[in-house]
Amino acid sequence: MGFVLRDAYPISQGHALVVPRQHVARLYDFPEDTQAALWQLASETRRRIDEELRPDGFNVGVNDGEAAGQTVMHAHIHVIPRWNGDVADPRGGIRWVIPEKARYWGGE
């Protein structure tokens, strides 16, 4: 089905990729059962990283298409461990892909 490898350009220690063996450019080009199996592997990967490194949180996601920042045109899922203090203010999480839309809370 797929395999796990560490990202060549990691965002954080333990940053892993869940990569299907079959080549498709986009994860959602797979049938639903294949997608489900890959997400299950992502869940197992998250659990293993949690046991090994004990991060405080995770970002898990997919860059789906060039407009979304996909640079490797082979479907894959990122599993990125996060730690308290690794950025000044983590609020907004993945919303920071469009910085002017990231800060949706008010008053600060």
Tell me, what's the pLDDT at 28? 96
pLDDT in tens, 81-100: 999 999 998 988 888 888 88
**Does 39 score more than 90 pLDDT?**
yes
The residues assigned a catalytic role are: 76
pLDDT range class, residue 107, cuts 50, 70, 90: low
Residue 63 within any structural domain of the chain: yes
Q: How many domains would you assign to the chain?
A: 1
In a domain, 104, yes or no: no
Amino acid at 12: S
Q: Does residue 108 have a pLDDT over 60?
A: no
Taking the C-alpha atoms of residue 85 and residue 94, their distance in angstroms, rounded to an integer, is 16
The Cα–Cα gap between 99 and 48 comes to 31
* Backbone φ and ψ of 27, nearest 5°: -55, -40
Expressed as residue numbers, the domain containing 47 is 2-86
Q: Which residues have CB under 8 Å from 50's CB, separation 6+?
A: 58, 81
pTM for the structure as a whole: 0.92
